[in-house]
Amino acid sequence: MMKQIEISKHKLLGVAGLGWLFDAMDVGLLSFVIAALQKEWDLSVQQMGWIGSINSIGMAVGALIFGLLADKIGRKWVFIITLLLFSLGSGLSALAPTLSVFLVLRFLIGMGLGGELPVASTLVSESVPASERGRVVVLLESFWAGGWLVAALIAYFIIPHYGWKVAMLISALPAFYALYLRLNLPDSPRFEGAVQKQSAWEKIQIVWSSTYVRPTIMLWILWFCVVFSYYGMFLWLPSVMVLKGFSLIKSFEYVLIMTLAQLPGYFTAAWLIERAGRKFVLVSYLLGTAASAYFFGAAESLTMLITAGVFLSFFNLGAWGALYAYTPEQYPTAVRGTGAGMAASFGRIGGILGPLLIGYLVAQNASITFIFTIFCIAILIGVLSVLFLGKETKQQELV
């Protein structure tokens, strides 16, 4: 019997993880495509900021709509629909003749991305034992690093020689995988056993009821701060390298080096999360992120820049893993998709503001040091929300 559980757990992790990898590949590729589009379409820094922000607007809408839908029709079908949405949108964006069309498609892609991420972590959370839940969800998040690595490799080898359109067509391949998932992915056993009584509005009211208002406020602050800083920093990473004087190809090369540090960040977080707890991992890795962000912005030498970038990737992505493990544990099964989706949706507002802020500040000739100090402060606010409002959920059974 135990062997059957193990096989099921690893199969689920692989199936959901590959979907997660495709998400990351698209987001990672976008950061390189923005840098390439700037040269091809002669974009202003404000227009570059809007590409990242329109993606996050779509993610905010998608997280809310698909989070509610996941509590109504199931985690499995929402996972498939969102995967198809962003995969097909990525393929079509390769045909975009103008920035306006590209932005419309990025909104649709964002909807798929924003809906898929919290729903996939909810599905995995509900399908593994409490003693392993945090570790498995962080390992699920580690597929994000794999996706970024694939994106960095595509950007390095494809974009300079074949152009960004070929790179976007490659990112559309997950659509075929989504069709395969339709036949092979089981839904959450907890969802299938739950009685669906409440309307969408009633679910939202439960999330904000006196029982759950404290974890809801904590998650909304945390998600906003983490997403604001992540998308502000990482979507602009190749472009920041160019602004610091490196060529496009060299900037891609250095970002690839930094991206490799994401994997040990995830694996150490996965090892710690069932030993030291969710709060410890979130607080310590976010503090590491804040310090790394400051030193990355202040770096004046190539060695300092890459070193700070490596630590930034290590700590930030480890914190993301803990965030996705921690979020679904705050709510009962009946409103878990809704609660996680709403927190992620509010967080995506930060993802809208982060890239826009950099674009605006760069246009005003603000220093990179000043910009990254803002992200450092935002992360520290997220740390305080966990410390004062968060409760430890290590190895607690889901209800």
- Per-domain residue ranges for the chain? 2-182+198-389
**Could you confirm whether domain 2-182+198-389 is CATH 1.20.1250.20?**
yes
The highest-confidence range among 121-130, 137-146, 287-296, by mean pLDDT, is: 287-296
In the structure, what pLDDT confidence band is assigned to residue 294 with cuts at 50, 70 and 90? very high
Q: Could you give the count of Cα atoms lying within 13 Å of 381 in the half-sphere of its Cβ?
A: 18
pLDDT digits (tens, 9 = 90+) for 208-233: 999 999 999 999 999 999 999 988 88
Q: Higher-confidence residue: 179 or 317?
A: 317
Residue 269, both tokens: 């977080």
At residue 50, does pLDDT exceed 60?
yes
| Neighbouring residues of 24: CB distance < 8 A, sequence distance ≥ 6 | 143, 144, 145, 146, 147, 148, 151
Q: Higher-confidence residue: 299 or 310?
A: 310
**Tally of helices (H runs) and strands (E runs) in the chain:** 18, 0
CA torsion through residues 312, 284, 141, 212, sign: negative
| Per-residue model confidence (pLDDT) at position 145 | 83
In the structure, what pLDDT confidence band is assigned to residue 279 with cuts at 50, 70 and 90? very high
At residue 203, does pLDDT exceed 50?
yes
Is residue 379 within 8 Å of 229, Cβ to Cβ? yes
Quote the pTM value.
0.84
pLDDT digits (tens, 9 = 90+) for 321-357: 999 999 999 999 889 999 999 999 999 899 888 878 8
Report the Cα 396 to chain-centroid distance in Å. 25
Say how many Å lie between the first and final Cα of the chain, rounded.
23
At residue 235, does pLDDT exceed 80?
no
How many Å apart are CA 33 and CA 56, to the nearest integer?
16
The mean pLDDT of the chain is 86
Is residue 334 within 8 Å of 199, Cβ to Cβ? no
Out of 80-84, 301-305, 315-319, pick the least confident. 301-305
How many Å apart are CA 375 and CA 230, to the nearest integer?
8
**Residue type, position 392, single letter:** E
At residue 363, does pLDDT exceed 90?
no
In the structure, what pLDDT confidence band is assigned to residue 196 with cuts at 50, 70 and 90? low
**Which residue stretches of 235-332 are H helix?**
237-243, 248-260, 262-273, 278-298, 302-326
Spell out the long-range contacts of 91-96 with Cβ–Cβ below 8 A and sequence spacing 24 or more: 91/168, 91/169, 91/171, 91/172, 91/175, 92/172, 93/168, 94/164, 94/165, 94/166, 94/168, 94/169, 94/172, 95/165
